[in-house]
Structure formats: C-alpha cells, structure tokens
Structure 1
Amino acid sequence: MRCNRRSFLAAAGLAGVAGLAGCTSPDEPSDTPTSTESPPVTTVSDPAYDLGVTHDVQNWSEYDPDWSHPTEAPTLDVTTETVIEGLEIPWDLSFAPNGDLFITERPGRLLRYESGTVESVASPDDIVDATAIDVDDEGGWWAAGGEGGLMGNAVHPNYPEVPLVYVFYTYVEAGETLNKLVYYDVSTDEPEMTTVIEGIPGESYHNGSRITFGPENYLWVTMGDAGQPALAQDPSSLAGKVLRMNPDGSAPDGNPDLGGDPRVFTYGHRNPQGITFMPDATPVENEHGPAAHDEVNVLSAGGNYGWDVEGERARTAETYRGTDYARPLVNTGNETWAPPGSVFYTGDAVPSWQNRLVIGGLISQRINLVTVYPTDGEPASAANGGERFDADWMDADYSAVHHTALEDELGRIRHVEQGPDGTLYAVTSNRDGRAQGDQFPREGDDRLVRITPA
C-alpha cells in the first residue's frame, strides 16, 4: 500500500537505498492504572521462519576490539540534506542488511524506504491515539498522545531471508496502558503480526522503547519506569530495565541472575531511549533524568543504575558515593539534553565524528557528541567548547567529553543512525507539539536528513 497522505521528497542523486551515503517528562503521577507484574516469559510458538541467529561477536561488521578514541576535538561545522519530508512524528530508524530502511511513526505506521520510494507496510490496529500537528497548529503534546504510540523498530539480522521487522508500541487494554513487542512479516502485501511480549507496563510517558539487535544478534529493549519509579528497582518487573533476549523472546543463558525476570540485563533506569555499542561490543545506554540530570551509562550485566533510590530525587554525586550503584559515564547535572536515540558512529562520511557517541536532543534541539575515553588513558580534547565528565563519583573506567552541533537548526532530533555505507542520518520530532520556540515545526517537517561536513 503506497503512502499517499503525506508528501515525501527523495533527495537529488539518490539511486536507491544503497545510495543513502522522551524528553524530560513531567513527574506528576498518572491517573491511569499501570500493571506492576512482569509478563510471563514465553516464546513465539511455531514461527513461520527460523528465528535462530549466531552469537559470534567476531562476525559483527563493526567489531574492532582494538579501537581507539579520537584525541582531537570534533569539527562541529556540519550541514544537512533532506532525504524524506512530511513524516508524522518519526521515532526510530533501522537499516536491513540489504540496505532497506524502516522508519516508525508514532501515529502507527511502519514505513519502508527502498529505491527512492517510501511505502507504508504495516500499522497495528490497537495502538494508542497519537496525532501529528500541522505546521500552524499549537497542539499540546498530551493531546497528541503523550509519548506513546509506535516507537522502536529493529530488523531481524537474517533479513531478507527472514523478512521480519520488530516494533514496539503502546496500547490500552481494559483501561490499562500497556506496551507490546511484536514483529511483522513484511514480505507480504498484508503483513501478519506476531506477538513476542505483551502486557508490558506502560504509561502516557516513560515508555523507553528503543529496540535493536546488538553485535551478537541478541535483541535489546530499553524500558522506562512507566511512571512508577519503584518498579525500576524490582527485578521481577520489566519497567525501568534494559532487556536482552533471543529473537523469539526467550532469555539467553548468559543473562545475569537477578532473582527476577531472566530477560533483565540491567535495572534501575528511569526512561532510557538510546542504546548502542562501542566497537568492542560494549553496550552504552542513555536516558532522560528528572529535571535535567540526564545520563549516559556504560552497561555491565546485572548493574543497578540508581533509579529510583532517593524517592524521585535527582541522581547526584550523593546518590552514588558510598554505594554499589553503577556509576554514570555522564550525568548532565542541571543541564537538560533530553537524550533519545543514539549511535556509536564508526563511519567516515563525517570523519571527525568517527568513534564518538552521537545522541539526538529533544528539548535541547541539537546533536550531542560524546567522546568516550579510558580514564587511565590519553584524555580526549575538550577544545572547541567541549565539557569534560570525569568526576570521582562517575564511571571509574571511562571518562567523556561533550560537544554540541546543529543547535536549533533542525528542532527536536529524535534519533540518529548510521547507514550501511557509513552515512549518518537523523529524524526530527517537531510535530509532536513540544518544539521549543516558534520556528518549529517548519514546512516539510518532520523529516529524515543526511548529515555531512559543511
């Protein structure tokens, strides 16, 4: 079914996909009841395809155990080129091994971009209401569905032989807001949906919901606290966690034993919306904090990342000193990044950003560049306006330097992703009713853009 309700622009020179070179949420409690129980651990029964994958990290195309961080400051003078315009609150991007690009829009459409054409391939029937405002509207974000809707997506590693795209979305059942992980067979004209997990705690905010297949082909899912901070400390609940699973929804044998749900890899998270991997396969996660205090964390199996340990207080030095909580790589203090989707960039299309963490920015309306370096190694440069994170209460093994780019040029940047050829992309989220200032949304929003050196 071809999309015909929106205007799409294929940028000049594209010969096909191969040529594609959260916010800080209010913390008041919700009136909507939310489930506190973990959904039962089940697996997809009688799948139509072999969901099995290999778990050899050396087969990962980005694997480089001897990688090194850049020591020079990044060049911040970059420009963008629109690839697709007229999107409706896009949330996530994922590239298939053959170069197909899949985009989720919060109102409920899974899109495929292939050979210069955008096609709507699937839409859940039971998704919560989420609408994109028009350019001249002032629509509030609550009226547009809060932070729920169709969010993360990830392509099965053996695509197109296994033509499955996983998506995560919010729905309501018996008056209760919940989340669901499913996959679609996108090889058919009317893709069939298969449920992997349902009944996950949800809310109109704090749903987390970034999903990705990692270096060893495990499926990673970030889960917000669903507006109930205490659940983040409960290993039996999926809320406030990072999950690691097999493609059929089962728990890998190598997951930590926390005495709760075996799919939980780490816990104590508030609203994580970004997960990516350093070239040596180390997972890195970023999440929204309360009243600023956003965090970037290097994940260790079984780690407790400190939310909510102080009764909804911001996580500060006092939260971590003298405790066993996993220390953050970055804690933004009183500054708000509102960090959503991220990628550890290894491409060469933007050479000075190579081997750095690239994170979108919602309320900050910018790209956040984080250079990660070993604390006992040569420091990365903080020249060109950088900020260093190396306090004694932060991560003992790694330190970081933060730079910013494209501030207030694109508006709310929801996610950044690396294409198969090393090109860097970003999607905006200006039609969710939360853009800052009166310059967004602009004509053509929301859009997918390519980032290149100026």
Structure 2
Amino acid sequence: MGAPTRRHVLAAAGCSLSLAGCLLETGSEVTELVTPETTPDDDWTEPEWRPAEGVPSTADVTTTTVVSDLEIPWDLTFAGGDAFLTERDGGVRRFDATELATAADLVPADGETVLAAADLPEQAAPGEGGILGIGVHPSYPGPSELFVYYTVDDGEIENRLVSYDLESETLESVLEGIPGATTHNGGRVTIGPEDDLWVTTGDAEDPTLTQDPSSRAGAVLRLTPDGEPAPENPDWGPDGDRRIYTLGHRNPQGIAFTPQGTPIVAEHGPSARDEVSLLRPGGNYGWDLVRGGPDDPDYGSYDEYDDATPPVVNTGPETTWAPSGIAFYDGDAIAPWENHILVCGLGSNALYALKLVPDGATLEDGDGVRYDAAWLDNRLTATAYTLFEGEFGRLRHVEPGPDGSLYLLTSNRDGRASAGFPTDEDDRLIRLEPASSSAA
C-alpha cells in the first residue's frame, strides 16, 4: 500500500469523515476535501465523437481583424443573428453577426452599447474585476434577455449576476453574494445543453472558501434562468448551496461542453499548474490542498486523495498557460480543428487546441504535448497543440460563430501585456475562417 497519505492519517486519528466531508484547518490550510451528501449519477459514457485526423495548425485558417480599439474585452456570445460583447469597464455592445462574418476588413460601426457600465448598480472594475461574462436566454429573442456577471464595490468587493431585458430595458438580480476581490473572480457565463445557466466563480483570494459548500467562491454553479438551483444538482448538506455543481476551483474562467453534454472547465493555477477538467457532478477539484502529481514540491497529489477529482490537463509547476475562455469546436468548416477543445492563453500569448482520445488510444501527436500521467483523469487523454504563439498577444476568449468561423478576443490593454503589445489596433476581435486548402 505504501506510505499513508494525509487523508489516511487523519482518518486513523479519529476525524469523522462524514458524507459532507471533514474540514480540519491548520492556520488557513484546508486539510480535508468536502464531498456532497448525495451526488447525481455520473452519466459519463465513452464519446461517440472522435478527434479529427491530423494535427491542427495556424495554416488551416486565415485571420481577419473585424473590430479594433476595444477596451479590455472579456466575453463574446452569439444568439439570434446578434453578437454580444462585454468590456471590463465599458458595458455590453451588440454587433450584427452577419456583418462580423462577412466583413473583409474592420466593421465600420463600433457596435451598439445596449448596457452601459453606469446602468449596473455599484459596478466597479478593481484589478481583474469588472463586467465579465455574458450569456443569452436560450429562447432569445423571445425573451430578449441577457445574463451579465459583474463586479461591485459597495464598501466590499463581490460579484453579481443580473438579467437585462433588451425590450423593456429592465434589470433584475439573478444571484448576489458571490465573493469577489481584485483578482480571482472567475466570471464566465454560458447556457448549457439543457438550457441551464452555468457560472464560474473564483476563490476571491481566499482559498479556504473553496472548501466551504455554503460559499459561492471557487465553484462552478448550475442555475435555472431565474437563479434557482438546477433540480439535478448535488446536495451539499443543510448548509450547502444547491447551486454548486462542483467546488475546489481556484480561478476558472472558461467553460464549454462536449457534444454529449459533459462540461469542460479551464482554470488558472498557482505559479503555473493550470488545468483543464471534464467535470463530474459533485466533483471536488482540490484547491488549495491538491494541485498536481506526486513530484509537485508544493501541493498534494491527486492520487493521494480519494475525494479529489483530477483534471485531464495539469501544466505542471514549470509551464504557464494562464487559461481564460474556451470552446469545443465541433464544426467541420475548419476540418483539422474539429472536436478539439480550444483554450485561450493570457500569460502564454497563445491558443491551445486539445485533442481528446480514450485513455490509452494511439494517435499522431505531431508537435503536441501529451498529458497521460497516471494521476490525471483516466477517461480521456489530452494532447495540446500551441497555435498563434506571440502573434496576437494575450488571448481572452474564443467563440464559435454561427457560420462555422471562430472569433478571438485579445486582452492587451489590461496592464499585463508584453513583447510589443498592445499595438495600435488593440484590443481586437479577430475572425478565424478556413484557409482555402482547409476548406477544400
């Protein structure tokens, strides 16, 4: 069996490992991981989809800047012929999706501001905070409802989720009391396959909150559009928030779904150790106790903790992606990119394409980095390919368009750019479409 893990030592010492988990603390360190009292069945099955053959490359696409001079854009989503874009301290803009898809050069208009920063009560943009994620009601344009995640400072920093009706111009609270700070606010919002509202939250610079199921920090939330817990969510006990789908996250800023509906999350790690995970309902992703493999000098290993849910990718203590927005590209317009998870990198100034295969499968890796350590998620194995490194600077989000194109948002005016950025055009919305050879 080998040396006892800290978990086993605690159990032998008489710690009550209840279904809700045992929380022991030494100073500010959580030493046990929380688990739900009841967990929905994990309906994972081996996916019917398969990775496209070949290795993705920047030669597969052409790039066109369609909007420039944006002020720290953060999120982008398409619905009903419209494209909605957030800027951290600028509000929400609406563009015509067809115009973005067909423009040969810059879109002439700057987009219509449909919700200004001043329209959001107590809106603030401290550090990494501000107007962040945006989602659109699944039945848009009936109702014409947007969901916006933003940071407030009314004497204490927190985050809120609100809905805004474009027709009546009414703003309503969906969820308040999301812990916030100058960094680690999470902030991505999306609509899931069953029309639930999914929201990622950060640890608000207080890692102990991520192991507290009564807190909304360091979690992935699944809500109904009116802010109630999705009925199928895990039960975290009498004091737990039923909106929590998974917890133990540090600063997740990307969420997407596989074609079979499995949620995928990307999150920032501490000094590297960035992760991409296929979520399991009720999963605990270990922060801030667990964050790597058995050779990590500073954090516990996933294989030492039965209650920790491992990721498919952990970049390790030496490699930083600084991942933000992600997308699962299941279109066939850019054939070599089909069925890859696309992950935007901020500090790495790159876009990553993750190819997933059943664990143990053989696949051409090319110049990719394969993540196949025994302590990682054993359902699928990921290979990562690096694209556009250094070409556009910091990449905040990637979003599939309705026509099969992809769109990138840069984040070069947030005070952290380097290596010649920002340029005169920054920040930008960039369209990626198939090169002639890829489309043939």
* TM-score, normalized by the shorter chain, greater than 0.5: yes
Is the partner of 2:345 in helix, strand or coil? coil
Q: 2:305 aligns with which of 307, 318, 323?
A: 323
- Separation (CA, whole Å) in 2 of partners of 1:284 and 1:298: 5
Structure 1, unmatched stretches of 5+, are 1-63, 131-144
CA distances 1:21-62 after superposition (whole Å, capped 9, x unpaired): xxxxxxxxxxxxxxxxxxxxxxxxxxxxxxxxxxxxxxxxxx
Aligned-pair distance for 1:308? 1.2
Q: What's the counterpart of residue 374 of structure 2?
A: 392
- Separation (CA, whole Å) in 2 of partners of 1:379 and 1:70: 14
Q: What's the counterpart of residue 260 of structure 2?
A: 280
Q: What's the counterpart of residue 149 of structure 2?
A: 168
- The answer (yes or no) to whether the contact 2:89–2:117 under 8 Å persists in 1 is no
> Which residue identity does 2:115 align to in structure 1?
A
Is 1:73 the equivalent of 2:55?
yes
Map residues 7-406 of structure 1 onto 2, 5 A cutoff: 66-77=48-59, 78-96=61-79, 98-114=80-96, 116=99, 117=109, 118-125=111-118, 126-130=121-125, 145-173=126-154, 175-188=155-168, 191-259=169-237, 260-309=240-289, 314-317=291-294, 318-324=300-306, 325-333=308-316, 334-376=318-360, 378-383=361-366, 385-406=367-388
- The answer (yes or no) to whether the contact 1:306–1:315 under 8 Å persists in 2 is no
CA distances 1:252-285 after superposition (whole Å, capped 9, x unpaired): 2210112210000001000000000011111110
- Separation (CA, whole Å) in 1 of partners of 2:87 and 2:244: 27
Please, what is the CA RMSD of the aligned residues?
1.6
Q: What's the counterpart of residue 36 of structure 1?
A: none
Q: What's the counterpart of residue 418 of structure 2?
A: 436
Q: Report which of the two structures shows the higher radius of gyration computed on alpha carbons.
A: 2
- Separation (CA, whole Å) in 2 of partners of 1:75 and 1:363: 21
CA distances 1:85-140 after superposition (whole Å, capped 9, x unpaired): 111100000111x121000000131000026441000124335444xxxxxxxxxx
- Separation (CA, whole Å) in 1 of partners of 2:140 and 2:84: 12
Aligned-pair distance for 1:374? 1.1
- Separation (CA, whole Å) in 2 of partners of 1:309 and 1:322: 11
- Inter-CA distance 421–452: structure 2 relative to 1 (3 Å threshold): closer
- Separation (CA, whole Å) in 2 of partners of 1:199 and 1:416: 28
> Which residue identity does 2:182 align to in structure 1?
S
- Separation (CA, whole Å) in 2 of partners of 1:160 and 1:113: 15
Is the partner of 2:413 in helix, strand or coil? helix
Aligned-pair distance for 1:350? 1.9
Residue correspondences, number: 367
Is 1:449 the equivalent of 2:430?
yes
> Which residue identity does 1:380 align to in structure 2?
L
Q: What's the counterpart of residue 14 of structure 1?
A: none
- The answer (yes or no) to whether the contact 1:127–1:150 under 8 Å persists in 2 is no
- Separation (CA, whole Å) in 1 of partners of 2:434 and 2:418: 26
Is the partner of 1:341 in helix, strand or coil? strand
Q: What percentage of aligned pairs have identical amino acids?
A: 50
Is the partner of 1:431 in helix, strand or coil? coil
TM-score between both structures, scaled by the size of structure 1: 0.78
- Inter-CA distance 355–127: structure 2 relative to 1 (3 Å threshold): farther
Is the partner of 1:430 in helix, strand or coil? coil
- The answer (yes or no) to whether the contact 1:214–1:220 under 8 Å persists in 2 is yes
Is the partner of 2:336 in helix, strand or coil? helix
> Which residue identity does 2:364 align to in structure 1?
S
> Which residue identity does 1:275 align to in structure 2?
I
Is the partner of 1:158 in helix, strand or coil? coil
> Which residue identity does 1:197 align to in structure 2?
L
Is the partner of 2:62 in helix, strand or coil? strand
